[in-house]
Amino acid sequence: MEILRHVVVLVHLVGFAVLFGAWVVEAVSKRRQVTPLMNWGLAIAAVAGLALAAPWGISYELNYVKIGVKLVILLIIGALLGIGAGRQRKDGAVPSAIFWSIGILTLLNAALAVLWR
């Protein structure tokens, strides 16, 4: 059970890497678009995160306040990805506040996961 949980944590990290990596590529290339890879990364992190939110394969208490905050932030990122994609289709560009918020909130969720014990 413990090994399986570690595998799910690994999948969760892959989701984070895909979402954040896709965002960094857009930021560095100065295209600043919302891409389908970001949605995939978010979906992978969400599914694995929800599986990890149940207390299996561990001998310690989960921090449900932290998990709740992470879930709310994930939903906000999802909404921003949707709004950003809509604006991109309509105007050809994602408003910079939306684009930067996606990256910052993703990093914030990773920081909460690692730093809030």
The whole-angstrom separation of Cα 66 and Cα 49 is 12
Residue 35 contacts by C-beta under 8 Å, 6 or more apart in sequence? 22, 26
Residue 109's CB is within 10 A of a number of other CB atoms, namely: 23
**Which is closer to ligand HEM, CB of 88 or CB of 106?**
106
Q: 22, 52, 81, 98: which one contacts ligand HEM (CB under 6 A)?
A: 52
How far apart are CB 91 and ligand HEM at their closest, in Å?
26
Of residues 44, 41, 48, 46, the one with CA closest to residue 20 = 41
Q: 4, 10, 50, 79: which one contacts ligand HEM (CB under 6 A)?
A: 50
Of residues 78, 52, 47, 77, the one with CA closest to residue 63 = 52
If one asks whether residue 85 binds ligand HEM (CB under 6 A), the answer comes out as no
Chain positions contacting ligand HEM, by CB under 6 A: 5, 9, 12-13, 16, 19, 45-46, 49-50, 52-53, 58, 62, 67, 70-71, 74, 77, 106, 109-110, 113-114
